[in-house]
């Protein structure tokens, strides 16, 4: 397959943006908003890097994937860059969200106002427990998971958030996919699989804690170090 050099910098022929870059764009976006609120009209890659907690060269390279929106000797125009980046991230439109599972976490997420700096309205809450179905959380009535296809079609749900116990997660994911949802954010502590054309991201509290545990434990002398009374944990 000859690369055919598909118009690398044409305005329309979108370049492919590396995953790592995509994951940083929201950080830049947030930093730009803060800068805007602080009254700045332009910002250098160095300053933006500082705000986003990354390297300045990385910022420039990341932003260059979006296009040449900077001005040499000056920096980036905050408002213009905000606009371009919002557009690229798809934040110029709303993406309706459905939350499945209204336990502790699900309710907390439902109550989390200003969801993702707006743009992600929670249009549906779903649970499998008949005792929860019918109650109202954050102004939205909880419906039964069996109704997912109707609900998804009705509200044009784009993103599904799974906040169920681990055991139910795969089933819920399958139902979401079947209902036409093409982006899933999984909070359940288990691995789930979805078709290739569906985006899947996960947030796993237990995993995060265990990763921290690993490094913490390395600092205090490596595994199987008997019973060091955690005193004298100098640095």
Size of the site for DNA (CB under 7 A): 28
Mapped onto helix, strand or coil, the DSSP state of residue 158 is: coil
Q: DSSP labels for 4-72?
A: ----TT-SSSPPPPPHHHHHHHHHHHHHHHHHHHTT-SEE-HHHHHHHHTS-HHHHHHHHHHH---EET
Tokens of 185: 């954010």
- Answer for which of 6, 30, 41, 57 binds DNA (CB under 7 A) is 57
- Answer for which of 42, 115, 155, 171 binds its own copies (CB under 8 A) is 115
- Answer for which of 7, 41, 50, 74 binds DNA (CB under 7 A) is 74
We find the least distance from the C-beta atom of residue 224 to its own copies, in angstroms, to be 5
Q: Are 124 and 114 in contact (CB under 8 A)?
A: no
Tokens of 68: 């040449």
Residue 121 DSSP symbol: -
Tokens of 52: 């986003």
Q: Does 29 bind its own copies (CB under 8 A)?
A: yes
- Among DNA, its own copies, none, the one that 45 touches (CB under a kind-dependent 5 to 8 A) is DNA
Which span (35-43, 55-63, 121-129, 153-161) binds its own copies, by CB under 8 A? 153-161
Return the residues of window 41-100 that contact its own copies according to CB under 8 A: 51-53, 87-93, 95, 97
Q: Does 202 bind DNA (CB under 7 A)?
A: no
- Answer for which of 46, 77, 147, 171 binds DNA (CB under 7 A) is 46
Q: Does 191 bind its own copies (CB under 8 A)?
A: yes
Q: Please classify residue 62 by burial: count the beta carbons closer than 10 Å to its beta carbon, then call 0-12 exposed, 13-18 middle and 19+ buried.
A: buried
Q: Does 68 bind DNA (CB under 7 A)?
A: yes
Q: Does 199 bind DNA (CB under 7 A)?
A: no
Q: Does 20 bind DNA (CB under 7 A)?
A: yes
We find the least distance from the C-beta atom of residue 92 to DNA, in angstroms, to be 22
Q: DSSP labels for 53-86?
A: TS-HHHHHHHHHHH---EETTTEEEHHHHHHHHH
Interface positions with DNA (CB under 7 A): 1, 9, 18-21, 43-46, 54-58, 60-61, 63-64, 68-76
């Amino acid at each position: 397959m000859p690369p055919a050099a598909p118009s690398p910098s044409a305005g329309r022929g979108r370049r492919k943006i590396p995953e790592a870059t995509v994951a940083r764009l929201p950080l830049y976006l947030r930093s730009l908003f803060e800068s805007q609120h602080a009254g700045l009209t332009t910002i250098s890659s160095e300053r933006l890097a500082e705000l986003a907690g990354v390297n300045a060269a990385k910022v420039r390279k990341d932003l260059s994937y979006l296009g040449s929106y900077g001005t040499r000797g000056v920096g980036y125009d905050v408002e213009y860059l905000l606009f371009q980046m919002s557009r690229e991230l798809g934040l110029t439109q709303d993406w309706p969200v459905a939350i499945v599972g209204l336990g502790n976490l699900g309710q907390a997420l439902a109550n989390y106002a200003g969801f993702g700096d707006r743009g992600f309205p929670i249009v549906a809450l779903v649970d499998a427990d008949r005792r929860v179905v019918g109650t109202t959380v954050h102004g939205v009535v909880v419906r039964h998971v069996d109704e997912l296809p109707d609900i998804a079609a009705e509200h044009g749900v784009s993103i599904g958030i799974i906040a169920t116990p681990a055991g139910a997660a795969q089933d819920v994911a399958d139902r979401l996919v079947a209902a036409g949802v093409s982006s899933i954010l999984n909070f359940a502590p288990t691995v789930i699989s979805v078709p290739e054309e569906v985006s899947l991201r996960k947030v796993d509290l237990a995993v995060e804690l265990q990763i921290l545990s690993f490094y913490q434990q390395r600092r205090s002398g490596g595994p199987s170090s008997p019973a060091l009374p955690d005193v004298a944990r100098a640095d």
